[in-house]
A and B are shown apart, each in its own frame.
Chain A
Amino acid sequence: MKTNDVILQTGTKVVFFIIFLFSIHIFFAGHFAPGGGFVGGLLTTAAIVLLLLAFDLKTVQKALPFNFMIVVAVGLLLALGTAAGSILFDVPFFTHAYDDFNLPLFGVSSLHTAMIFDAGVYLVVVGSTITMIQTIGGDS
């Protein structure tokens, strides 16, 4: 017998985006307020776990058609590339750079290469946790 969890699924559809947005916020706020790539990634994972609970593996895979192993690889490359990029400018490995830019939509914003590194962390966290949960959950 198939249970009808329409409330859960409907609720999830709303709550997923709230959690996801919160995680993005936490990620971007990381440099000045509590948060960062790690927590942000975990929160995104939690959002996807919620999807997995409300729907099933196949549906979620259809909705999020990523191979999360590749997400892990992209994240690692991003992190390593940021760290290694400094070598091109003849400064030691892992030297970050930052400056203020006047962006068209956001106005004057402070941009920091540490953010790119943090994005790498974010992707790795999301990728590997979802990989684990999908493989364990998908195991018969």
Chain B
Amino acid sequence: MEFVLLIFLPIVAALFVPFLYKTVKNIHTGWFVFIISAALFIYYLRFIEKTLNGNVDTSTLSWIPSLDIAFIAYIDGLSLLFSLLITGIGALVVLYSIFYLDKKREKLNNFYVYLLMFMTAMLGIVQSDHMITLYLFWELTSISSFLLIGYWYTRDRSRFGALKSMMITVFGGLMMLGGLVLLSIMGDTYSIRELIANASSFIGHDYFTLALVLVLLGAFTKSAQFPFYIWLPDAMEAPTPVSAYLHSATMVKAGLYLVARFTPIFASSEVWIWLVTGIGLLTLFWGSFFAVKQTDLKAILAFSTVSQLGLIMSLLGASAVAYHVTGADAAIFKFAAFAAIFHLINHAMFKGSLFMVAGIVDHETGTRDIRKLGGLMSIMPVSFTVAFIGSMSMAGLPPFGGFLSKELFLTSMLALRDFELFNFATWGIIFPIVAWVASVFTFVYSFYFVFKTFAGKRKMQSLPKEPKETSLGMLLSPVVLAAIVVVIFFIPNLIGKMFVKPAVVAMQSGLYNHPDEVTVNVSAWHGWSPELMMTLGIIALGAFLFLTMSKWQKLYDIQPQYFSLNALYDTLMVFGESGMNRLSRFYMTGLIRTYLVYMFAFIAAITTAALFIQDAFAVDMESFSPLNTYGIMTAVILVLAVVMVLFAKTRLAAIIALGGVGYSVALFFVIYKAPDLALTQLVIETVSVALFLLAFHHLPALKRHGESTKFRLGNFIIAAAVGITMTLLALSAHSQKLIPSISQYYKDTVFTEAAGGNIVNVILVDYRGFDTLFEIAVLAIAGIGVYSMIRLRLSRKENSDENK
């Protein structure tokens, strides 16, 4: 079977969800979704065998062959690992949601449609080999995540959070699209595999750094890295299963996936290593530091997710160093790749379980405010156990999976110190220090999360509901995840062999041929190494900080509200709205005069600029005809009449002067031998002056009536500029005729071909009668227009009726 079609299985299944919801009322719709994701999980398990041997599998579904766009599912170690996470945790989350969301009160048809949409999108991202379809699925995750965050759309906060995450991730997605397009131009292919194969030829390419930064922007916004992490805490308004699934285990890892996937292409760049590692570490520190400040359980977890994603990101950056070093040094950086993937698995497990526990606490006590909670240990023993396991793993303590990945992380960061290239020797010392400080805060918030909720005094009176242990069904998923966290600690090398090493081979392609060449062995006890010392230090300082927390937590209040990234985002949004409003109001005055000023100014400026840039201005005195007395006299009359129009004190005088202009133009036609034009001009001028005079009677008594026009300097400048520009243009056009006129043909054939003597009329009715046909149509339309405007004024009558 073409397994590319399986990507679409969830979204096709989503079509049936509303029907099932409406028809099968007794069974929770979630069970159907659960079967879909569990089946997919089991199906993807079969690929493990293949990736274990370093093999890959592809499957293609042609979409737009003429543009070389196709859905290409590409399964190697990395995409398989993600696919398993997506479907596996997906199944557990659906199971959890079956008990979390009430079948009667909630709109389950919406919820599961969005969730299945999201599952397709995620599977599409991790399996796509084609960059355009990768982008397609990428935006589909943004959209489905938007829908899921805004699931309780009657709440203000949900809508705000949904919009915020949409704005930020779509911004990043569009940037990424730009990066991907640049990549496809550089490599002349859309296939990521082919790009990786040609990676060495891109170094030094003009677009290389730009493409790198753009792709990273996409990854950073999606994976909630600094400073784009701000959408994640606000996305916590989503139902808890969504937070557990999207905002801890899968979607936020899409950015990590992207970075891991493109590492072989960009690893040669210094910018890549610095950006990924640096931003990752900054995010790690920032997230862990601010997690302690939060009072909402899910907000703590959101900041913790941000921080852990930063950790993985920095490891991914460090793994790119492996491309620059050889020999014994290289091993330690290949280590970083292993650590990144290993922690990614760990994080998905413990963070998923922690979110579910937060949801259980919320569900059973009615609040998520950590200040109201406490002493739930004996009431909710199972939840407490799960929370304890998850938090300790998050803090990096044995015997949980997090301990191992924390050790691997510290080892990699210590190794960065010794990296010689790109100024790392001087600045490299910062990395382990920041990593260590961030780990201390991680320790603090992990303890804060679990012990403030479950230990201490019970505050019954502050709880909205009487707390009790939750149902078995809701506990099942977190228990499974917590169990995996513990199991990972005891069999890290099996996990490493089955999932991590194939993923590392995919991530660092070119360095390995077979997963077995990744020679990383994880052991719980690795001697008295520096990283163990650091862990001991973390425990000691972390414990001290946790115990004295009430004393220093006030420090957070020093930071003013308006000096934060959220405030910056709000300001930007407000500015985007009111600022743009003000900008449009500034130039869209609603006055025709202003718009005419814009248009004429642009006409003058552009024409003059074009004349000078092209060096097109020329005056050829030879081409002018000789002046004659009649011409000069008529010109003088014409100019006088025009001046009179401008300075006329009354409208009547202006109309008469305008008539003077028209008649002198007719005289020009006579002098320059155009009898037809002269005739027409004379009659049309007479008729139009008569019409002006007719209209003159109907003019309302305006304020300006009878006054002369006011002088405005701006108008004068623009009018003068347009006049001068057009004069220059006419002079140069007249002086530079490229081809002879066509009129000789008309002269030769007017009698022989058209049986006529008047060239003008023959042109009008015969050679180019088409124009005349539509000109008379214009005239007819004008007549009908005047008729209908004057005779058919229904609206005015109705209005006047309404006024009565």
Residue-wise interface mask of B (767-781) relative to A, using a CB-CB cutoff of 8 A (1 in contact, 0 not): 001101100110110
- Are A31's CB and B756's CB within 8 A? yes
CB neighbours (8 Å) of B757 from chain A are 31-33
Stretch at the interface among B65-73, B725-733, B785-793: B785-793
CB neighbours (8 Å) of A73 from chain B are 780
B762 on interface, CB distance cutoff 8 Å: yes
- Are B779's CB and A128's CB within 8 A? yes
B684 on interface, CB distance cutoff 8 Å: yes
Residue of A nearest to B695 (CB): A136
Given known A-B contacts A35-B679, A128-B779, A117 and B686 have beta carbons under 8 A apart: no
**Which residues between 91 and 113 of chain A lie within 8 Å of chain B, taking CB atoms?**
94, 96, 98, 110, 112
- Are B680's CB and A79's CB within 8 A? no
Residue of A nearest to B777 (CB): A76
**Which residues between 27 and 48 of chain A lie within 8 Å of chain B, taking CB atoms?**
30-39, 42-43, 45-46
B570 on interface, CB distance cutoff 8 Å: no
| Alpha-carbon distance A112/B761, docked complex (angstroms) | 13
| Alpha-carbon distance A112/B754, docked complex (angstroms) | 9
A54 on interface, CB distance cutoff 8 Å: no
CB neighbours (8 Å) of A26 from chain B are 679
Given known A-B contacts A35-B761, A96-B766, A129 and B772 have beta carbons under 8 A apart: no
A61 on interface, CB distance cutoff 8 Å: no
- Are B790's CB and A135's CB within 8 A? yes
| Alpha-carbon distance A1/B473, docked complex (angstroms) | 104
B738 on interface, CB distance cutoff 8 Å: no
Given known A-B contacts A76-B780, A96-B754, A36 and B790 have beta carbons under 8 A apart: no
- Are A76's CB and B776's CB within 8 A? yes
- Are A120's CB and B776's CB within 8 A? yes
Given known A-B contacts A31-B761, A46-B687, A121-B765, A132 and B679 have beta carbons under 8 A apart: no
B691 on interface, CB distance cutoff 8 Å: yes
A139 on interface, CB distance cutoff 8 Å: yes
- Are A124's CB and B679's CB within 8 A? no
| Alpha-carbon distance A13/B94, docked complex (angstroms) | 98
Minimum CB–CB distance from B683 to chain A (whole Å) comes to: 4
Q: Among B686, B770, B777, B783, which residue has its beta carbon within 8 angstroms of that of A46?
A: B686
- Are A79's CB and B790's CB within 8 A? no
Residue of A nearest to B785 (CB): A132
A114 on interface, CB distance cutoff 8 Å: yes
- Are B684's CB and A42's CB within 8 A? yes
| Alpha-carbon distance A135/B691, docked complex (angstroms) | 11
| Alpha-carbon distance A114/B766, docked complex (angstroms) | 6
CB neighbours (8 Å) of A51 from chain B are none
| Alpha-carbon distance A117/B780, docked complex (angstroms) | 15
Please tell me the number of chain B residues within 8 Å of chain A, measured between CB atoms.
39
B690 on interface, CB distance cutoff 8 Å: yes
CB neighbours (8 Å) of B695 from chain A are 136
- Are A38's CB and B756's CB within 8 A? no
Q: Among B765, B779, B786, which residue has its beta carbon within 8 angstroms of that of A114?
A: B765
| Alpha-carbon distance A117/B771, docked complex (angstroms) | 12
CB neighbours (8 Å) of A127 from chain B are 780, 783
- Are B687's CB and A136's CB within 8 A? no
A133 on interface, CB distance cutoff 8 Å: yes
CB neighbours (8 Å) of B783 from chain A are 68-69, 72, 127-129, 131-132
- Are A117's CB and B758's CB within 8 A? no
A49 on interface, CB distance cutoff 8 Å: yes
Given known A-B contacts A42-B680, A46-B686, A124 and B780 have beta carbons under 8 A apart: yes
- Are B786's CB and A42's CB within 8 A? no
Residue of A nearest to B786 (CB): A132
B694 on interface, CB distance cutoff 8 Å: yes
- Are B786's CB and A135's CB within 8 A? yes
CB neighbours (8 Å) of A35 from chain B are 676, 679, 758, 761
Minimum CB–CB distance from B111 to chain A (whole Å) comes to: 64
CB neighbours (8 Å) of B691 from chain A are 132-133, 136
| Alpha-carbon distance A125/B687, docked complex (angstroms) | 12
Closest 3 CB pairs of A and B: A128-B783, A32-B757, A34-B675
* Chain B residues at the A interface, C-beta cutoff of 8 Å: 675-676, 679-680, 683-684, 686-687, 690-691, 694-695, 698, 754-758, 760-762, 764-766, 769-770, 772-773, 776-777, 779-780, 782-784, 786-787, 790-791
28 contacts between A and B (CB under 8 A): A31-B762, A31-B765, A33-B758, A34-B675, A35-B676, A36-B758, A36-B760, A36-B765, A42-B680, A75-B780, A76-B777, A80-B773, A83-B769, A96-B765, A98-B754, A114-B762, A117-B765, A121-B776, A127-B780, A128-B779, A129-B687, A131-B783, A132-B782, A133-B687, A135-B790, A136-B695, A137-B694, A139-B790
* Chain A residues at the B interface, C-beta cutoff of 8 Å: 26, 30-39, 42-43, 45-46, 49, 68-69, 72-73, 75-76, 79-80, 83, 94, 96, 98, 110, 112, 114, 117-118, 120-121, 124-125, 127-129, 131-133, 135-137, 139
